């Protein structure tokens, strides 16, 4: 599911002690180790481009706050790539170069994440949409846009499209989070899942305090707050990410996204329109899901159908909406099946150009 559901985050912070345990509490909790497991014979990394080891372009969005932006290619509409919860632009590394051959495409780091400056506000879709709008204007990346959101950013792009309707001509939602997934998901299976989720959220703030004191490799909290290296990216990129993610700014921004995703972020998304006319909306859903040890097959079937249903609801917000099921993939379809993501975005771009 989404990074707020059955999925995993990309990068270093994927096998937290308390976070890893949280996935046993509810289907909406974070299963951090699904893709990032100990690997005695490490495979060659998928992503090695050194551009992801440092800021690409730091753009002032106002009052001296800078966000990291990476644009390639030329043409219109411009594709805007928004990463999943607590993630960075590197999650689009297998997709962006191919898209740059057909149009302009930009990825970015939200405030506090990647190489961007610390967040000044709560990390919710409305605030992040305003930041992104300011970023694109300051960088002279002018509309129209095809908005692409992975996981939590599936809600972000809908809020952006609702807030700036004249700017957006298409959306592609990759394993997107849904505003009702917590409420509907918590109703399946174990009682008390929400309380356990809330208890885990309190634990995430311990990482902010530890980062303020200094997260030192080998210390008791280091593995809890940083997790293990991601075998999909090179050592150089992992090391660069670690240097940023030990900082209080990253830990605070990541915690803010996590603590808001099922609450304020869901409320903000729920308040947006449900009719986008004929704007193309392409949703990509990885399914079916394997049964976990802490659930029955009936529960698993219910959760799988629920996830597909919520994605179909998003697609149905347009007369040109479609929910595409992507088998043999994980939460990061852009890693497991990058061509599927590329094709979906190219289709949305093509439809926008023909209008």
Domain membership flag for residue 240: no
Rounded to whole angstroms, the Cα distance separating 347 from 87 reads: 25
Residue 38's pLDDT is what?
36
How many domains, in total, are found in the chain? 1
For residue 270, pLDDT over 60 is answered with yes
Domain membership flag for residue 138: yes
Domain membership flag for residue 108: yes
Q: Which two tokens mark 118?
A: 């610390």
Rounded to whole angstroms, the Cα distance separating 3 from 332 reads: 9
Query: What mean pLDDT value characterizes the chain?
Result: 87
- Better pLDDT: 17 or 296: 296
C-alpha distances in Å from residue 168, one per residue of 58, 160, 200? 24, 8, 36
Segments forming the whole domain that contains residue 110: 46-190+253-354
Convert the pLDDT of each residue in 48-97 to its tens digit.
999 999 999 999 999 999 999 999 999 999 999 999 999 999 999 999 99
Give the CATH number of the domain where residue 330 resides. 3.40.50.1820
Average pLDDT of span 29-54: 64
C-alpha distances in Å from residue 226, one per residue of 12, 16, 196, 208, 322? 6, 7, 21, 11, 37
Rounded to whole angstroms, the Cα distance separating 62 from 68 reads: 14
Domain membership flag for residue 21: no
pTM over 0.85: yes
Average pLDDT of span 305-310: 94
Domain membership flag for residue 2: no
Domain membership flag for residue 325: yes
For residue 163, pLDDT over 90 is answered with yes
Convert the pLDDT of each residue in 218-251 to its tens digit.
888 888 888 888 899 999 999 999 999 999 999 9
Domain membership flag for residue 105: yes
C-alpha distances in Å from residue 280, one per residue of 50, 95, 161, 312? 34, 19, 12, 14
Convert the pLDDT of each residue in 319-348 to its tens digit.
999 999 999 999 999 999 999 999 999 999
Domain membership flag for residue 286: yes
For residue 133, pLDDT over 80 is answered with yes
């Amino acid at each position: 599911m989404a990074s707020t559901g059955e999925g995993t985050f990309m990068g270093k912070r994927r096998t937290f002690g308390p976070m890893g345990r949280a996935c046993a509490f509810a289907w909406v909790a974070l299963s951090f180790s699904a893709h990032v497991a100990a690997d005695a014979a490490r495979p060659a990394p998928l992503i090695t481009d050194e551009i992801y080891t440092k800021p690409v372009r730091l753009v002032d969005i106002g009052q001296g706050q800078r966000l990291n932006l990476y644009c390639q290619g030329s043409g219109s509409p411009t594709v805007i790539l928004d990463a999943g919860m607590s993630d960075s632009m590197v999650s689009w590394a297998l997709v962006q170069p191919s898209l740059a051959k057909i149009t302009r495409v930009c990825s970015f780091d939200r405030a506090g994440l990647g190489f961007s400056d610390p967040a000044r506000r709560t990390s919710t879709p409305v605030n992040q949409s305003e930041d992104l709008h300011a970023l694109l204007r300051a960088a002279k990346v002018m509309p129209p846009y095809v908005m692409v959101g992975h996981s939590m950013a599936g809600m972000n792009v809908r809020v952006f499209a609702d807030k700036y309707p004249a700017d957006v001509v298409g959306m592609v939602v990759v394993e997107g989070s849904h505003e009702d997934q917590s409420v509907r998901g918590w109703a399946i299976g174990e009682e008390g899942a929400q309380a356990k989720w809330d208890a885990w959220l309190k634990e995430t703030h311990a990482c902010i305090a530890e980062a303020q004191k200094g997260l030192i490799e080998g210390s008791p909290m280091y593995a809890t707050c940083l997790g293990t290296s991601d075998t999909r990216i090179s050592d150089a990129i992992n090391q660069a990410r670690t240097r940023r993610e030990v900082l209080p700014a990253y830990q605070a921004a990541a915690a803010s996204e996590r603590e808001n995703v099922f609450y304020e972020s869901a409320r903000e998304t729920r308040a947006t329109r449900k009719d986008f006319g004929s704007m193309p909306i392409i949703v990509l859903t990885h399914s079916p899901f394997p049964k976990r040890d802490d659930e029955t097959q009936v529960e698993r079937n219910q959760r799988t159908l629920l996830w597909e249903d919520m994605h179909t609801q998003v697609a149905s917000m347009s007369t040109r909406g479609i929910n595409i099921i992507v088998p043999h993939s994980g939460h990061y379809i852009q890693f497991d099946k990058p061509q599927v993501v590329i094709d979906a975005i190219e289709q949305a771009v093509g439809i926008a150009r023909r209008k």
